[in-house]
Structure 1
């Protein structure tokens, strides 16, 4: 994370205008990340009956974690996430545990491995529809060779470049709430390729579900009033998929937002729904 004043300014600008940034020098070996993506590829190429043998739900009820590589990646990505949250706090001139204390040190994480097969009509089908993550932040390990992730910026979809072994941090609505909308959660989507498959591993970090989160008083003042009501994290989680299905933001679907960010936000939302 940047200590240099100029680099810190660039990071803050990226978080305020784009809602995402690239993490380099994260400490995870290239070979390790390559192995994770290759294991993911092998799994998705298995016949359905072989995939079903890897289920981690016992008797349809009890869930158990599986996978030594995923366990190691979870530990490593958790370390990166803590560093990211500390750096984001410093950008707002707060002590480094500012956001960690609000979301809880035992915040939840879950990983989603996604396979996007080639699509003969990529002009008609999205790999993943436009949405905003309900996380505090999302840590994304993307395909090293094939792009497809796009972010909405000023009413236009912009391609996120292929990053190799670098990681992408995406701001979620949880962070937008606890930063009082200083850091923006971006609309993003995945488009398909006509002739190439694509893989990704997204790890979503969410506040402890029993937490009540809202804009902290230190970030609320006359020129920047509270943008959101206080809300139980579990309520946000429960409402996410209904909001996703409706093509809406969770904070709007659940009426958590106090001050809608005027015409620019509404126009951006219209573009997302209509494209």
Structure 2
């Protein structure tokens, strides 16, 4: 199996820019995932983010998770559990409005560090969207404009920990799925592995690397690129030893953003994906996260056609 794509983003500024852009293009077209080094976030900041998140887990969440496991009798499971994930998580909203001040149990240092982290990740996400535009032959800023809607993009972070699991053969850390949104930026544990993606029918490990940011593409970029880029099934395998940290930030379209294949990509090919409002896709996705993405696209297509067929609604 070919090597998982690892890209040094600092090489965009020198003679290797063209080769680096080609690596990003290949990763988007053939993997749906890639790992970034020298991405602009300082190592000091990332080390601090890791420290405060691991401290918060041990202080506030570890015991709750153990109590949940005990209450459900999961340690004694004898058959595969298909409707539960072996993870301890909470969600922080950044855009359009932050909710970090409302989340209980967070220390002031945590709030301050995560605000700085989110600000830097937002810049990186927007840079990546412009790099994707360049590779796709779209005008600069096209993807950011599509994502903006009327109130700006939705941006938030799922803070996750995957504790040691006594039955990793029976319980997934996180079941296989594609991500619904736009572009996902993951800061993961560099010591405890577990993230895998499906490529050519085989599950491939996403390598833990110190100070890297893992990027993957969501369903909306598959639609906008008319299938040129694809969102990819991925999962987390629970481990017997070690707690894996996973800080996944989702830079998604605004709720009222209208998503459809970019017209510039349809000049030489047929339109393969429907047009829809992002919020409608999310409503459909929530209950079907761990099912195939194709029926979700079909449902949006049916919604699009029913809207067209209804025509203008009479007010008389």
Structure-1-length-normalised TM-score: 0.83
1:30 is matched with 43
- 156, 161, 182: which is aligned to 1:115? 161
Distance 2:62 2:175 in 1: 28
Correspondence 1:18 to 2:31: yes
State the SS of the aligned residue for 1:90. Answer: helix
User: Which residue number in structure 2 is paired with residue 169 of structure 1?
Assistant: 215
RMSD: 2.4
Which 4+ runs in 1 deviate beyond 4 A?
A: 47-51
The question of whether the paired residues in 2 share the 8 Å contact of 1:140 and 1:203 is answered with: yes
In the alignment, what sits opposite 1:91?
Answer: 135
Deviation at residue 253 of structure 1 after TM alignment: 2.6
Distance in 2, matches of 1:94 and 1:81, equals 17
- Is the contact between residue 56 and residue 65 of structure 1 (CA under 8 Å) also seen in structure 2? no
SS of alignment partner, residue 117 of structure 2: helix
Shift of residue 168 of structure 1? Answer: 0.8
The alpha-carbon deviation at position 65 of structure 1 amounts to 2.2
Structure 1, residues 171-223: CA drift from partner, whole Å, max 9, x if none? Answer: 0001111111111111000001111110110001110111111002111144x
Structure 2: 5+ residue stretches without partners = 1-8, 65-89, 93-97, 102-110, 302-316
In the TM superposition, 1:1-275 aligns within 5 A as 1=9, 2=12, 4-47=17-60, 64-66=99-101, 67-104=111-148, 106-222=152-268, 224-245=269-290, 247-249=291-293, 251-253=294-296, 255-256=298-299
TM-score using structure 2 length: 0.73
CA distance in 2, matches of 1:12, 1:97: 17
Per-residue deviation, 1:86: 0.5
1:4 Cα offset (Å): 2.2
2:108 aligned residue:
none
Residues 56-85 of structure 1, C-alpha deviation per residue, up to 9 Å, x if partnerless? 99xxxxx83231111111100000001100
CA contact (8 A) 2:198 2:232 kept: yes
Deviations 1:21-57 (A, max 9, x none): 1222122111211111111111111256998xxx999
Question: How far, CA to CA, are the matches of 2:202 and 2:63 in structure 1?
Answer: 41
Cα distance, 1:9 vs structure 2? 1.6
Bigger-Rg structure (1/2): 2
Q: Whole-Å Cα distance in 1 between the matches of residues 52 and 20 of structure 2?
A: 35
* Structure 2: distance between partners of 1:95 and 1:254: 26
